Structure 1
Amino acid sequence: MVKHTPMMEQYLKIKAQYKDAFLFFRLGDFYEMFFEDAVTAARELEITLTKRDSGQKEPIPMCGVPYHSAENYIRTLIEKGYKVAICEQVEDPKAAKGVVKREVIQLITPGTVMERSMLDDGENNYIASLSHFEDGSYVIAYNDLSTGENRLALIQQGWEAVIHELYNQPVKEVVISPELPEERQDVLREKVNPTLSYQKEADLKGEHRPLCRHLNDNRLIEGFSRLINYIQDTQKRSLDHLQEAEVIELQNSLSLDMYSKRNLELTETIMKKGKQGSLLWVLDQTVTAMGSRMLKKWVERPLLDKASIERRQEVVEGFYRNFMERDSLRDILKSVYDLERLAGRVAFGNVNAKDLVQVRRSLQKIPTLKECLLQFEQKEVRELAENLTFPDNLVVLLENSLVEDPPVSIKEGSLIKDGYNPQLDTYRDASKNGKKWIAELEQREKQETNIRSLKIGYNRVFGYYIEVTKANLHLLPEGRYERKQTLANAERYITPELKEKEQLILEAEEKSVDLEYQLFAEIREEMKNHIPVLQSLAETVSAIDVLQSFATVSEENNYIRPEFSDHKLSIKQGRHPVVEQVMKDGSFVPNDVFLNNERNILLITGPNMSGKSTYMRQLALTAIMGQIGCFVPCEQAELFIFDQIFTRIGAADDLVSGQSTFMVEMLEANHAIANATDKSLILLDEIGRGTSTYDGMALAQAIVEYIHDHIGAKTLFSTHYHELTSLAESLDKLKNIHVRAEEFEGNVVFLHQIQDGAADESYGIHVAKLADLPENLIKRASDILEQLETNWDGKETARPEAEPETESGQLSFFAHAEPSNPPVKAKQGQSEQKIVEELKNLELFDMTPMDAMNQLYQLHKKAKNQQD
Structure 2
Amino acid sequence: MPQKTKHTPMMEQYLNIKAQYPDAFLFYRLGDFYEMFNEDAVKASQVLEVTLTSRNKNAEDPIPMCGVPYHAAQGYIDTLIEKGYKVAICEQVEDPKTTKGMVKREVVQVVTPGTAMDLKSQDGKSNNYLTALFIDETNHYHLAYVDLSTGELKVTQIDTKEELISELISLKTKETVFMEGESIEEQAELNTKLGILISTQKTVESAEPLIHLLGSVESKNKRFVLNLLLSYLSETQKRSLDHLQTAEEYTPSHYLKMDHYSKQNLELTSSIRDGQKKGTLLWLLDETKTAMGGRLLKQWINRPLVHKEKIEARQRIVENLLNHFFERSDLNEVLTKVYDLERLAGRIAFGNVNGRDLIQLKTSLNQIPLLNNLIQGMNENEEWTSLLKQLDPVAEVSDLIETAIHDEPPIAIKDGGIIKDGYNAKLDEYRDAMKNSKQWIASMEAEERVKTGIKTLKIGYNKVFGYYIEITRANLVLLPEGRYERKQTLSNAERFITPELKEKEAIILEAEDKSTALEYELFAEIRETVKNSIERLQNLAKAVATVDVLQSFATVSEKYHYVRPLMEKGSQEIELIDGRHPVVEKVLGQQIYVPNDVEMDKDTQIMLITGPNMSGKSTYMRQLALTVIMAQIGCFVPANKAKLPVFDKIFTRIGAADDLISGQSTFMVEMMEANQALTYATKDSLILFDEIGRGTATYDGMALAEAIIEYIHQHVHAKTLFSTHYHELTALEQELEQLKNCHVGAIEEEGELVFLHKMLPGPSDKSYGIQVAKLAGLPEELLEKAATILKKLEQQKPVVQEMAESVAENTPKIQSTALKTKKAPVESTAEQQISLFSLEDPQEKEVIQLLKNINLLTLTPLEAINELNRLQQKLQNKES
Shared fold (TM-score greater than 0.5)? Answer: yes
* Partner SS, residue 378 of structure 2: coil
* Partner SS, residue 281 of structure 1: helix
Partner of 1:391: 394
Partner of 1:117: 120
* Partner SS, residue 537 of structure 2: helix
> For 1:776-796, what per-residue CA distance to the aligned partner results, in whole angstroms no more than 9, with x for missing partners?
11111111101221243459x
Partner of 1:718: 723
Matches of 1:329 and 1:70, distance apart in 2: 40
Matches of 1:838 and 1:497, distance apart in 2: 113
Determine which of 336, 339, 343 is the counterpart of 1:337: 339
Matched, 1:666 2:671: yes
Matched-pair contact (CA < 8 Å) for 2:322–2:558 = yes
Cα 1:704–1:3 change in 2 (3 A) is farther
Determine which of 287, 290, 293 is the counterpart of 1:291: 293
Matched, 1:67 2:70: yes
Partner of 1:547: 550
How many Å apart are 1:201 and its aligned residue? 5.0
How many Å apart are 1:116 and its aligned residue? 5.8
> For 1:567-610, what per-residue CA distance to the aligned partner results, in whole angstroms no more than 9, with x for missing partners?
21110111001011111133221111122332111111111101
Partner of 2:790: 785
Matched-pair contact (CA < 8 Å) for 1:147–1:341 = yes
Determine which of 60, 66, 83 is the counterpart of 2:86: 83
Matches of 1:12 and 1:200, distance apart in 2: 21
How many Å apart are 1:372 and its aligned residue? 1.1
Matched-pair contact (CA < 8 Å) for 1:84–1:108 = yes
Letter in 1 for 2:636: F
Matched, 1:14 2:2: no
Cα 1:706–1:90 change in 2 (3 A) is same
How many Å apart are 1:230 and its aligned residue? 0.3
Partner of 1:311: 313
Letter in 2 for 1:315: I
Matched, 1:734 2:739: yes
How many Å apart are 1:774 and its aligned residue? 2.0
Identical aligned residues as a percent = 57
Matched-pair contact (CA < 8 Å) for 2:434–2:511 = yes
Cα 1:186–1:769 change in 2 (3 A) is farther
Matched-pair contact (CA < 8 Å) for 2:604–2:739 = yes
Matched-pair contact (CA < 8 Å) for 2:617–2:723 = yes
* Partner SS, residue 154 of structure 1: strand
- 5 Å-filtered alignment, 1:142-541, equals 142-155=145-158, 157-200=159-202, 202-379=204-381, 380-541=383-544
Cα 1:59–1:635 change in 2 (3 A) is same
Determine which of 747, 754, 757 is the counterpart of 1:752: 757
Matched, 1:98 2:101: yes
Matches of 1:652 and 1:485, distance apart in 2: 77
> For 1:237-262, what per-residue CA distance to the aligned partner results, in whole angstroms no more than 9, with x for missing partners?
00110110000122211011110111
How many Å apart are 1:107 and its aligned residue? 0.4
* Partner SS, residue 94 of structure 1: helix
How many Å apart are 1:477 and its aligned residue? 2.1
Matched-pair contact (CA < 8 Å) for 1:692–1:838 = no
Determine which of 591, 595, 600 is the counterpart of 1:595: 600
What is the Cα-based RMSD across aligned positions, in Å?
A: 2.4
Cα 1:238–1:220 change in 2 (3 A) is same
Partner of 1:823: none
Partner of 1:848: none
Matched, 1:617 2:622: yes
How many Å apart are 1:121 and its aligned residue? 0.4
Matched-pair contact (CA < 8 Å) for 1:424–1:516 = yes
Partner of 1:647: 652
Matched-pair contact (CA < 8 Å) for 1:200–1:226 = no
Partner of 1:40: 43
> For 1:397-416, what per-residue CA distance to the aligned partner results, in whole angstroms no more than 9, with x for missing partners?
11110111000000011101
Letter in 2 for 1:688: G
Give unmatched runs, 5+ long, in structure 2.
801-849, 868-880
Cα 1:357–1:162 change in 2 (3 A) is same
Partner of 1:808: none
> For 1:92-123, what per-residue CA distance to the aligned partner results, in whole angstroms no more than 9, with x for missing partners?
23344433222111100011112363532011
How many Å apart are 1:836 and its aligned residue? 10
> For 1:391-431, what per-residue CA distance to the aligned partner results, in whole angstroms no more than 9, with x for missing partners?
22222211110111000000011101111000000000000
Determine which of 705, 708, 723 is the counterpart of 2:713: 708
Matches of 1:181 and 1:535, distance apart in 2: 35
TM-score by length of 2: 0.89
Matched-pair contact (CA < 8 Å) for 2:341–2:541 = yes
Matches of 2:141 and 2:48, distance apart in 1: 38
Matches of 1:287 and 1:712, distance apart in 2: 42
Give unmatched runs, 5+ long, in structure 1.
796-826, 840-857, 863-868
Letter in 1 for 2:705: A
Matches of 2:474 and 2:89, distance apart in 1: 55
Matched-pair contact (CA < 8 Å) for 2:5–2:56 = no
Matched-pair contact (CA < 8 Å) for 2:574–2:598 = yes
Matches of 1:752 and 1:390, distance apart in 2: 52
Matched-pair contact (CA < 8 Å) for 1:49–1:62 = yes
Matches of 2:682 and 2:130, distance apart in 1: 32
* Partner SS, residue 168 of structure 1: helix
Matched-pair contact (CA < 8 Å) for 1:4–1:54 = no
Letter in 2 for 1:747: E
Determine which of 575, 579, 587 is the counterpart of 1:570: 575
Matches of 1:746 and 1:161, distance apart in 2: 50
Q: Post-superposition, which runs of at least 4 consecutive aligned residues in structure 1 deviate over 6 A?
A: 830-839
Matches of 1:385 and 1:419, distance apart in 2: 35
* Partner SS, residue 171 of structure 2: coil
How many Å apart are 1:54 and its aligned residue? 6.4
TM-score by length of 1: 0.91
Letter in 1 for 2:795: T
* Partner SS, residue 256 of structure 1: coil
Matches of 2:667 and 2:856, distance apart in 1: 24
Matched-pair contact (CA < 8 Å) for 2:78–2:119 = no
> For 1:759-803, what per-residue CA distance to the aligned partner results, in whole angstroms no more than 9, with x for missing partners?
1111111111122222211111111101221243459xxxxxxxx
> For 1:694-747, what per-residue CA distance to the aligned partner results, in whole angstroms no more than 9, with x for missing partners?
111111111111111111111111111111111111111111111111122222
Matches of 2:860 and 2:595, distance apart in 1: 33
> For 1:175-215, what per-residue CA distance to the aligned partner results, in whole angstroms no more than 9, with x for missing partners?
11233444322321244322111124513200111111311
Matches of 1:275 and 1:714, distance apart in 2: 29
How many Å apart are 1:173 and its aligned residue? 1.1
Matches of 1:149 and 1:56, distance apart in 2: 52
Matched-pair contact (CA < 8 Å) for 1:464–1:498 = yes
Matched-pair contact (CA < 8 Å) for 1:623–1:639 = yes
Partner of 1:693: 698
Cα 1:524–1:53 change in 2 (3 A) is same
Cα 1:417–1:575 change in 2 (3 A) is same
* Partner SS, residue 418 of structure 2: coil
Partner of 2:822: none
